[in-house]
Structure 1
Amino acid sequence: MRHLFLLLPLAIAACATTGSGDGVVTIETASGGQALNGANCMVSTGSGNWNVVTPAAVNVGSANGDLRVLCNKDGFRASEIVYRPSNPYGSSAGVGVGGGGGHVGVGVGLSFPIRFGGGSYPSRVTVEMNPQ
């Protein structure tokens, strides 16, 4: 039983995940379901702001607050889209420990919220632009 508790941290680490993605978000614009290139977009998170011309790939890093994309193009209305990071509470792992002596069994269930990551943003964002 004593050795089981020594393996507990390893079991917790093995079950935890940090989310997916490498922090790169592809920004695209479209109008009426057709790709619309050349829009000026400002991408912002809690980590910073980036100005890009679509289509573009932006390395925004790990999720830090909402992902906001505001796009402008001549002849079209300004359009904004906001994404909240998926799984904002990080990962969680459930660990069960059981033990017993003789004919009597005793079980204890534990659950630990683990915050390695703050979630992730989508890998591709398409902003729909409407003509003026």
Structure 2
Amino acid sequence: MRYPILLLTALLAACATTGSNDGSITIDTRAGGQQLAGANCMVSTNSGSWNVVTPATVPVGSANGDLRVVCNKPGYRTAETLYRPAGSSGSSLGLGVGGGGGHVGVGLGIGVPIQLGSRGYPGTVTVDMNPQ
């Protein structure tokens, strides 16, 4: 009976991913609900900064600090968007002791940094811009 449980645990772990995208983020700007092309944007993380003209794709890599996007376009106010990645990506180690029915067991668990959702940066960042 314990082997099917171990197999199920291994299969569930195999379904997990280590991130929500390939490390690239699409930067898009909108005004009044319509796409606004040609805005100059600075995208920055702790890993570096990139200057792009929208729409653009930026290879920022894995989440490393806040993601900040600042966009400018003549005739529009400067707009800024800030994303903070949720959760932590560190590993953990745990030790447990259990007993019952005259038996004592010791278990060792290792937590690996697996992300099951939106713990990193979003795949697309849309910056809303307002006319001056």
Q: What TM-score, normalized to structure 1?
A: 0.71
* Cα distance, 1:91 vs structure 2: 6.6
- The answer on whether the counterparts of 1:91 and 1:116 sit within 8 Å (CA) in structure 2 is no
Distance in 2, matches of 1:17 and 1:95, equals 22
- The answer on whether the counterparts of 1:66 and 1:84 sit within 8 Å (CA) in structure 2 is yes
- The alignment yields a C-alpha RMSD, in angstroms, of 3.5
Distance in 2, matches of 1:76 and 1:99, equals 64
Q: Which runs of 5+ in 2 are unaligned?
A: 1-5
Distance in 1, matches of 2:18 and 2:39, equals 33
Distance in 2, matches of 1:128 and 1:100, equals 58
- The answer on whether the counterparts of 1:26 and 1:124 sit within 8 Å (CA) in structure 2 is yes
Q: Which runs of 5+ in 1 are unaligned?
A: 1-6
The residue aligned with 2:131 is: 131
* Cα distance, 1:19 vs structure 2: 2.6
* Cα distance, 1:85 vs structure 2: 1.5
- 51-60 or 91-100: which moved more? 91-100
- Fraction of identical pairs, as percent: 61
Note the 1:1-132 alignment, pairs <5 A: 14=13, 18-87=18-87, 89-90=88-89, 103-106=101-104, 112-115=110-113, 119-132=119-132
Distance in 2, matches of 1:29 and 1:65, equals 22
Superimposed CA distance per residue, residues 3-50 of structure 1 (whole angstroms, 9 cap, x where no aligned partner):
xxxx9xxx6xx4775332111000000011111110000000001110
Q: What TM-score, normalized to structure 2?
A: 0.71
Distance in 1, matches of 2:72 and 2:113, equals 37
Stretches (4+) displaced over 4 A: 14-17, 91-101, 107-113
> How many residue pairs align between the two structures?
119
